[in-house]
Structure 1
Amino acid sequence: MTTVALAVTDGMLHFELALAMEVFGSDLTHLVNPWYDFALCGPSAVQVGRFRLEPDHGLEHLTRADTVIVPGWADVDQEPPAELVDAVRQAHGAGARVASLCTGAFVLAAAGLLDGRLATTHWAHTQELARRHPRVTVDPDVLYVDNGGVLTSAGKAAAMDLCLHLVRLDHGSAVANTVARRLVVPPHRDGGQAQFVTTPVPAPGNHPLAGLFPWALQRLDQPLTVEDLARQARMSSRHLGRHFKSVTGTTPLQWLLAQRIRHAQELLETTEDTVDTIATATGMGTATTLRRHFARTVGVPPDTYRRTFRTRTRPGPLNGERHP
């Protein structure tokens, strides 16, 4: 998946467009060489918010891309341009992986790519997407949905999550986490090969749990309990649960499990450690426990997951990198 094309026309949301350009269009060959061959594709000069962009290629170039990304569509009350819908449909027919960011899902739905599939979009527009496209199963609660060749995301921050998820699928979690650090965003909202990704993550900021998350992430090898977390956060277990629900959308134990699975994925990709060793390093205790939770969450056993990444080009060492 080395060629990424960003499909644009008048009326796209500039935030989602810009973050896709930042992730895939930046020169990150110091991480992986080659990085993505990025192209901006549109019918002509396009107006995006207050900005006017000159595409590199016409929309017909989408059929040459490995991955096509459709940014958010501003006016969801109107049908997206037919030429954009047709170009995206043709790109998918040619074998491209197609991903929408935020309300870009309306373009994919109009192209028929979401029929019979689970999808998501910005929570404020999920009902409208479901009403206009009844053959699409719309889930308003997830961050993004990975159907393999077709992916959709919720709004704003979740669009970044999906972009990092694509990097992770292509280059592994170590590279994706490095890209996230470069962009100063959390690297933890991923779901590996799970089809439907709902793993929540705390957003950085000034909230009562800001200091607790890094403390817990450094101790994933330990059998942490809710009481341990509450003690560290200096609050009762009940108050901890309320804050966790508010900040992450889930419970303390569910969040811990998600982080243990994420860490196991990274170890499977980047080390030769046995499953028993990884179970200990992630606080799972035994290989049996790790295999059970890993398969249920990711969708495949740890050994299968490792073999999948062994068949891909392994990234070079990340030591000595410089981050702005």
Structure 2
Amino acid sequence: MGQTMIGVIGGSGLYNIDGLDGARWSPVETPWGAPSDEILTGRLHGTPMAFLPRHGRGHVHSPSSIPYRANIDAFKRIGVTDVISVSACGSFRAEMAPGDFVVVDQIIDRTFARTNSYFGHGCVAHVGLANPTCGRLGGICATAAREAGAHVHGSGTYLTMEGPQFSTLAESRMYRGHWGADVIGMTAMPEAKLAREAELCYATVAMVTDYDSWHPDHGAVDVAQVIATLGANTEKARSLVDGLPGLLTRDRTACPHACDRALDNAVLTAPSARDPELVSQLAAVAGRVL
């Protein structure tokens, strides 16, 4: 099925990847506009890798203004097969302490100001999202994080809020209690949905920076606290990425969770009724079935 190519999306605090052979920043054009930044490509321990800073170098995009569709399309367009998202998060669990890494396996989407699909009027598709992340890729990320020296939680439910403000105390208590969320962040959605529509394996590693606002002994979250914890975890995140090529097979095989076949039987619009302009825009992400 071709060669594995790792795509890393760096969140707050991770704006570059060191050690790539033949490293080069290059622009990638997509039908959905420009990605968050140019994409850094090269080889890490012999494996092709691409890196994209989600917020752009210098942190110019807020969570709501990130061009999510362009980012995922650009990765698919250049040959990425496995997408690893690294992001900051708040914790609703005392045992998921600041500095810990959480490999997310479930996501609650509370965003409302973002376009969350490549499909729409003129070409309708419904992909399965019961398990929004790839279990195979998540397990590899957990192993890489442990080998990097991080304290890792192998599963967790991530609530994606719109932002850019942090939670109110009432919201924090509700998400933690009635909703059963484990961590909270602002970027996992619609990223995971778009990756599934693009038939890419996707995993997200959330680095805990704070206890949101529910914890009686820690007070409300603030940016200074987030940045301080991120700084301490940056090297572990870089080590995690460095360990990925040794854990992912270089010769691409079919995903056991069918992430790479997510569009099988998903497109409902008859070929004769499809909007040619939208079909053209979908060439990279859905060309296999269109």
TM-score (normalised: structure 1): 0.25
Q: Greater relative contact order: 1 or 2 (C-alpha under 8 angstroms, separation 6 or more)?
A: 2
Q: Which is strand-richer, 1 or 2?
A: 2
Q: Is the helix fraction higher in 1 or 2?
A: 1
